[in-house]
Structure 1
Amino acid sequence: MDYSDPDAFTLPYQLTKQVRRDVYPLLEPTQPGLSAKGKTVLITGVIAESWATAGASGIVITGRKVDVLENVATGLQSLAPPGTKILAQAADITDEASVASLFAAAKEAIGKVDVLINSAGSLDLGPVGAADPAKFFRDFQVNVLGTYLVTHHFLAQADGAGTVISMTTGAIAHVFPGMAGYTASKLALVRVMENLHAERPGVRVFLLIPGIVQTEMTVAALKPYAKDSAGLSGGWTLFLATPRAEWMRGGIVSVNWDIEEMEAHQDQIIRENLLGRAFLNAKLGKDGHPWT
């Protein structure tokens, strides 16, 4: 791998020839095709701005830091159209009582949640055997248990329908020394979501790789390669909540992939199951999959 290449950690997971690192016209939240009017979304992370700009009827944001949530909510209110209901509710997603309270508050303040975006995550570094077990399994607590609890309570109020988008990582396809807790927990999450897709045909399930974004969780070694905007993930979640993404249901997709190029090869992608777990079928790489 050429570590001097700013795309060194992006190209190995590339399905399309076109590499996307920022919002492009198809994913602009202001364009009518991505309108979120009439939808209520619950987001366990930091990509709510796109939903406010797209005119969501209700936005629920959650996290552990009240002050951060309140600041985000203020910003969302300035972006959202009049009438959008915004709820900032602190919660510990690894605690079921806290998650139950979150959904109770959402129901009272806004009503039914239509779209769930599981974007909260944990990444603790440490080699197997040397990492403290409690720290090692913190990634499983947040990435698997936490996501499951939020999804569980979402489904309980969803009346058999809705959209669930869960963030995963391209790193599940490789071994990265020191990141076993993170990659293994994200791989486990993929299997949970695959089961949800198979078991609940009325629920639209997607797994999204958000690329490498500069956040507090970004590993120091990856910061030089963190070229992807958070807005790109936001635009993708809006897109996945539309009928146009119906054919991608149950699959793993990446924000770095070009949607229109994917659509041009939709039949092949479906026929060869190129969005399947662990990239067993797609030949990902610098030049994208060799389309036929």
Structure 2
Amino acid sequence: MDFNDLDAVTWPYQLTKAVHRDMYPLLDPAQPALSAKGKNVLITGVSGGVGRAIGEAWAIAGAAGIVLTGRKIDILSQVASKVKDVAKSPESKILVHPADLTSESAVQELWAKANAEIGTIDVLINDAGTMNYAAIGDIEPSKWWNDFEVNVKGPYLMCHYFLKQAINGHGTIITVSSGAAGSLFPNMSSYISSKLAQTKLMEFLHIEHPNIRAFTLLPGLLNTAMTAEAYLPYARDDPMLAGGLSLFLCTPRAEWMRSCVMSVNWDIEEMEAHKEEIQREGRNKLAYLNAKLGKGGHPWES
């Protein structure tokens, strides 16, 4: 691997020949095709760079209601203030409610508050996450398991209560994962394993609840508190790409991508040109490594 190439860490997960690391028109939250008018969204983990950008994207796109949740009320208030500043519609309702998503009672309270003050939530975006960094045996079992509590139990509880309030079982659930879920990195066993479980959860939602549009979103490599120091030089992805992609996945144009893994780095129009192959071969399902990922992208059949 040529580590002088600032895309070196991105190439191993690259499906398309074209790679996106900066915002481009198709995913611009301000473009009319991504309008969120009339939609209510609930976003977890907004204290981090990705969740914050997703919240801003939905505000720019004119969402009717935005529920922001995390553990720290002071950070939530800061995010809410920025979301209000960029909101396209002055009538957008923004609700802030701190919650421990590993606690079922806290999640119940969150959904009761959201439904009472905002109404039915149309879109759930699971972004809250945590990562331990230690070798198996070098970390207390309870700390190792905490990644599963936050990264798996949390999204499961959120999905459970989303389904309970979904009208006629319809809605969209997007869970933010990581390209690392398809890899092996020493000291990241709890994180990577939990992210794999997240992706499988979205696939089960797809087959068990056919009216729910379920997706796994890979936000790219960003400069956040969770990014290992060695990867910071390569952490060049715009967080707003995840915001724009979350909006895109809620459009009819993304219908064929349901239950799939979607990365902000992949070129959507190139994927659309190879839609038949992607669907037939499951190029971006959980076993998306069936595709020949790498620099230059997968060698398409035609």
TM-score range, shorter chain: over 0.9
For 1:209, which of 186, 208, 218 is the aligned residue? 218
- What CA distance in whole angstroms lies between the structure 1 residues aligned with 2:14 and 2:118? 39
Match of 1:70 in 2: 77
TM-score if structure 1 supplies the norm length? 0.98
Summarize deviations over 1:173-210 as a string: whole Å, max 9, x none: 21100000100000111111111111000000000111
- What CA distance in whole angstroms lies between the structure 1 residues aligned with 2:99 and 2:271? 37
Specify the SS of the correspondent of 1:103.
Answer: helix
Residue 155 of structure 1 and its aligned partner are, at CA, apart by 1.0
Match of 1:139 in 2: 147
Query: Are 2:22 and 1:25 aligned?
Result: no
Match of 2:117 in 1: 109
- What CA distance in whole angstroms lies between the structure 2 residues aligned with 1:186 and 1:278? 14
Match of 1:193 in 2: 202
Summarize deviations over 1:107-127 as a string: whole Å, max 9, x none: 111100000001111111000
TM-score if structure 2 supplies the norm length? 0.95
Contact 1:96 1:149 in 2 (8 A): yes
Match of 1:6 in 2: 6
- What CA distance in whole angstroms lies between the structure 1 residues aligned with 2:222 and 2:92? 28
Residue 128 of structure 1 and its aligned partner are, at CA, apart by 0.8
Contact 1:213 1:229 in 2 (8 A): yes
- What CA distance in whole angstroms lies between the structure 2 residues aligned with 1:22 and 1:235? 11
Match of 1:223 in 2: 232
Summarize deviations over 1:208-245 as a string: whole Å, max 9, x none: 11111111111222211111111000000000011100
- What CA distance in whole angstroms lies between the structure 2 residues aligned with 1:158 and 1:96? 18
Contact 2:282 2:288 in 1 (8 A): no
For 1:276, which of 277, 285, 292 is the aligned residue? 285
Match of 2:67 in 1: 60
Residue 146 of structure 1 and its aligned partner are, at CA, apart by 0.7
- What CA distance in whole angstroms lies between the structure 2 residues aligned with 1:28 and 1:280? 28
- What CA distance in whole angstroms lies between the structure 1 residues aligned with 2:158 and 2:21? 29
Percent identity between matched residues is: 56
Of 27-36 and 215-224, deviating more is 215-224
Specify the SS of the correspondent of 1:205.
Answer: strand
- What CA distance in whole angstroms lies between the structure 2 residues aligned with 1:131 and 1:6? 32
Contact 1:172 1:278 in 2 (8 A): no
Residue 172 of structure 1 and its aligned partner are, at CA, apart by 1.7
Q: C-alpha root-mean-square deviation of aligned residues, in Å?
A: 1.0
Match of 2:270 in 1: 261
Summarize deviations over 1:72-97 as a string: whole Å, max 9, x none: 11111111111100001100101111
Specify the SS of the correspondent of 2:111.
Answer: helix
1:79-98 mapped onto 2 (5 Å cutoff): 79-80=86-87, 81-98=89-106
Match of 2:181 in 1: 172
Residue 35 of structure 1 and its aligned partner are, at CA, apart by 0.2
- What CA distance in whole angstroms lies between the structure 1 residues aligned with 2:72 and 2:276? 44
What is the number of equivalent residue pairs in this alignment? 292
- What CA distance in whole angstroms lies between the structure 1 residues aligned with 2:196 and 2:282? 18
Amino acid at match of 2:56: E
For 2:58, which of 33, 51, 72 is the aligned residue? 51
Contact 2:13 2:179 in 1 (8 A): yes
Specify the SS of the correspondent of 2:290.
Answer: coil
- What CA distance in whole angstroms lies between the structure 1 residues aligned with 2:57 and 2:157? 25
Summarize deviations over 1:247-285 as a string: whole Å, max 9, x none: 000111111001111111111111221111132421111
